[in-house]
Amino acid sequence: MPPRPSPVRRPSRASPARSRPLRDRLDWLLREHQALHDPDLEPRNALPWLPELRRWQTRRLEASFDRFLRDPQRRPAAQFFLSDVYNEHDFAQRDADIARVLPMMQRLLPENLLSTVADAIELGLLTHALDLRMAQVLQTIGGSRRRMDAALYAQAYRIAGLPRLRNYQIDLIARVGLGLGHALRLPGVSMLLRLSRTPARAAGLSQLQGFLERGFEAFGQLGDVSRFIAEIEQDERDISRRLFAGDPDPFDGAMD
């Protein structure tokens, strides 16, 4: 019987629904962020596999995005995902800072757009929790080599389990992309972002401003946002399904 990971803290419950006030979601995100990144509780320093896991997952996502990165129209949006939504860097401090200042932007920007930012923060929290769980599994099954490969990753993914949370992680990826795409169609949002640049910097909101501006610039060149996100979502669900099913080549040769 494969080893089961001992408990690693994860989000305590489902996040408040989007229909709830944004303030409720932000309060929940801040509480979860503080708990997941509490240095007295979080085991990241005792998990030397964590950096290697994150590096490998970034390379895997780059391989999955290869066709997008080779398409001049879709490359900026793909690069935005790789640089601002998921990569090997720790977004913890950035996301905490954004969650704290987000309410200050409610008088300037539409709530749907700010809810999309909240989705991105929640995605970062959930991804962090899942990464901690997998790193703990790798500590048990990976030995001292500290080098990831596709077979070891697949084994750790299955042992870590949590298919419902993995599915929700993909839901959040899709919500972030579709939310940014929808915001592009809102009248006046681009102008509001330009007008808010200087006051945002003065008020300490530059992290949020930069995230939104980079997202708008990338998705503004994309064209069919729904199709782009649908392809990412389908790819990620197929990979997750194959990983849980024990497929011998869950990445279709991309990580050989």
Digits of tens for pLDDT over the chain (256 positions)? 455 554 444 544 455 555 567 777 777 776 776 666 655 555 555 678 988 999 999 999 999 999 999 999 999 999 999 988 876 666 666 777 777 767 777 777 778 888 888 888 888 888 888 998 999 899 899 877 778 999 999 999 999 999 999 999 999 999 999 998 888 777 777 777 776 676 666 556 677 777 888 888 888 888 899 999 999 999 999 999 999 999 999 998 777 6
pLDDT computed for residue 171 by the predictor? 94
- Asked if 7 and 132 count as a contact pair (C-beta separation under 8 A), the reply is no
Who's near 202: CB < 8 A, 6+ residues apart? Answer: none
- To the question of pTM greater than 0.85 for the whole model, the response is no
Question: For residue 127, what are its two tokens?
Answer: 């991804």
Q: Give the span between the Cα atoms of 77 and 222, in whole angstroms.
A: 7
Q: How many helices (H) and strands (E) does the chain have?
A: 11, 0
- Asked if 179 and 113 count as a contact pair (C-beta separation under 8 A), the reply is yes
* Residue that has been written with the tokens 């990753």 in this structure: 153
DSSP structure string for 16-55 = PPTTS-HHHHHHHHHHHHHHHT-TTT--GGG-THHHHHHH
Q: Which of 176, 97, 166, 99 is nearest to 131 (CA)?
A: 166
| Exposure on the CB side of residue 165, measured as CA atoms within 13 A | 22
Who's near 180: CB < 8 A, 6+ residues apart? Answer: 116, 215, 216, 219, 225
- Asked if 43 and 6 count as a contact pair (C-beta separation under 8 A), the reply is no
Q: What is the DSSP letter of 89?
A: S
* Largest pairwise CA distance in the chain: 59
Q: Which of 235, 193, 52, 25 is nearest to 109 (CA)?
A: 193
pLDDT computed for residue 205 by the predictor? 65
pLDDT computed for residue 72 by the predictor? 94
- Asked if 247 and 212 count as a contact pair (C-beta separation under 8 A), the reply is no
Q: Which of 180, 186, 185, 165 is nearest to 216 (CA)?
A: 180
pLDDT computed for residue 76 by the predictor? 94
pLDDT computed for residue 6 by the predictor? 46
